[in-house]
Structure 1
Amino acid sequence: MSRQRSLRDTVVVVTGAGGGIGGAITRQVLAGGGRVVAGDLRPQSLATVQAELQDEDRLVVVPGDVRDEATSAALIEAGISAFGRVDSVVANAAIGFYGGVLDFSADDVSLMIDVNVKGSVWLARAAVRQFRVQGDGGDIVIIGSVAGLLIGGGKEAVYAATKGAQINLGYALDRELRSEGIRTTVIAPAGVNTAFAAADGRFGGADPSEGQFMEPTDIAEAVVYTLQQPRRMRTELWTMWSMAETH
């Protein structure tokens, strides 16, 4: 059996860290001995995470909008300033609206593309620049969705398109960067019990609190598992389903 790598003192940048999945990733990395640069659009959400964890030595928070490429650069710079390097980035920040293809305004469509797709691209670009300076590889993890692969009930056309773009971004980055020791993994979960996923009836009338869907900690554990794998191996795409869901 392959021995997992320790997260101790590794530096992980997490976007959307003030939300359910992002907050869980932050907690899990810190619990494993890692260090986190936590980014989120909402300063109050970051303040809540910071107050809860109370780990000033291993947690740095950086408010910012992932739609702006400068935000990704600031996250990487914060990691270098606080900890001397960056080992991994997790593109977790996302937004989605549930409805028919004619239900969205042009601004809605642009927002989903800018946050989900461009935000992932900007973070990957900033990470690659730093990984190349360090010269010892690194990890890019993108939190996608099974919506990018298939849709059961529909009414997620634009969101699904952005998630499909993230999956293909991951595949393309893998092929471009693998020879440099830079791994790219897309983790694509189905239903997760978060305020984001429960909005607008995404659970189809089911109560997510009844244990029928995954929890943010499940996704966070998948991220940690990915980061701990030996450098000789990689996972390109990891789809995750609850036992209650069919596809």
Structure 2
Amino acid sequence: MSRQRSLRDTVVVVTGAGGGIGGAITRQVLAGGGRVVAGDLRPQSLATLQAELQDEDRLVVVPGDVRDEATSAALIEAGISAFGRVDSVVANAAIGFYGGVLDYSADDVSLMIDVNVKGSVWLARAAVRQFRVQGDGGDIVIIGSVAGLLIGGGKEAVYAATKGAQINLGYALDRELRSEGIRTTVIAPAGVNTAFAAADGRFGGADPSEGQFMEPTDIAEAVVYTLQQPRRMRTELWTMWSMAETH
């Protein structure tokens, strides 16, 4: 059996870290001995995370909007300033609106594209620049969705399109960068019990507390597992389903 790599002292940048999946990833990485640069649009959410974790030596928070490429650069710079390097980035920040294709405003469409697609591109670009300076590879993890695989439910056409773009971004980055030791993994879950999903009605009336959907910790564990794998292997796309869901 392959020995998993330790997360101890590795530096991981996480976007959308103020709650849900991003918050769970932050907690799991810190629990494994890693260090985290946590980004989120909401300063108060980051302050709450800091107050909960109380780990000033291993957690740095950077408020910012992932739609702005400068935010990704600031996250990487914060990692270098605080910890001397960056080993991995997790493009987790996302937004989605649940509704028919005619229900979206032009601003809704632009927002989903800018956050989900451009936000992932900006973080990947900033990471690659730093990985090349360091010269010893790195990990890019993109939190996508099974909605991007033509198996999403109805009334999420634009959201599904952005998630499909993330999946193809991951494939393309893998082919471009793996010769440099830079791995790209897309983790694409189905239903996850988060406030983000509940707010848009994605549970379809089901009670997520009854265990029919995955929890943010499940996705966080998948991220940690990915980062711990030996450098000789990679996972391009990891789809995740709860036992209650069908394809």
TM bucket by the smaller chain?
over 0.9
Q: Distance in 2 between matches of 1:78 and 1:152?
A: 36
Q: What does residue 101 of structure 2 align with? A: 101
Q: What does residue 153 of structure 1 align with? A: 153
TM-superposed CA distance for 1:205, in Å, is 0.8
1:44-80 per-residue CA deviation (whole Å, 9 max, x = no partner) reads 0000101000000000000000000000000000000
1:213-232 per-residue CA deviation (whole Å, 9 max, x = no partner) reads 00000000000000000000
How many residues were matched structurally? 247
Report whether the alignment pairs 1:56 with 2:21.
no
Aligned residues of 2:13 and 2:75 also touching (Cα < 8 A): yes
1:132-160 per-residue CA deviation (whole Å, 9 max, x = no partner) reads 00000000000000000023531000000
Alignment root-mean-square deviation, CA: 0.6
| SS in structure 1 at match of 2:28 | helix
TM-score (norm 1): 0.99
TM-superposed CA distance for 1:198, in Å, is 1.2
TM-score (norm 2): 0.99
After TM superposition, what 4+ stretches of structure 1 lie above 2 angstroms from structure 2?
Answer: 150-153
Q: Distance in 2 between matches of 1:146 and 1:162?
A: 11
Identity %: 99
Q: Distance in 2 between matches of 1:201 and 1:116?
A: 19
Matches within 5 A, 1:218-233: 218-233=218-233
TM-superposed CA distance for 1:204, in Å, is 1.0
Q: What does residue 112 of structure 1 align with? A: 112
TM-superposed CA distance for 1:196, in Å, is 0.3
Unpaired runs of at least 5, structure 2: none
1:171-191 per-residue CA deviation (whole Å, 9 max, x = no partner) reads 000000000000000000000
Query: Which moves more between the two structures, 190-199 or 145-154?
Result: 145-154
Q: 1:104 to 1:175 in 2, by over 3 A?
A: same
| SS in structure 2 at match of 1:191 | coil
Unpaired runs of at least 5, structure 1: none
Q: 1:136 to 1:97 in 2, by over 3 A?
A: same
Q: What does residue 28 of structure 1 align with? A: 28
1:74-133 per-residue CA deviation (whole Å, 9 max, x = no partner) reads 000000000000000000000000000000000000000000000000000000000000
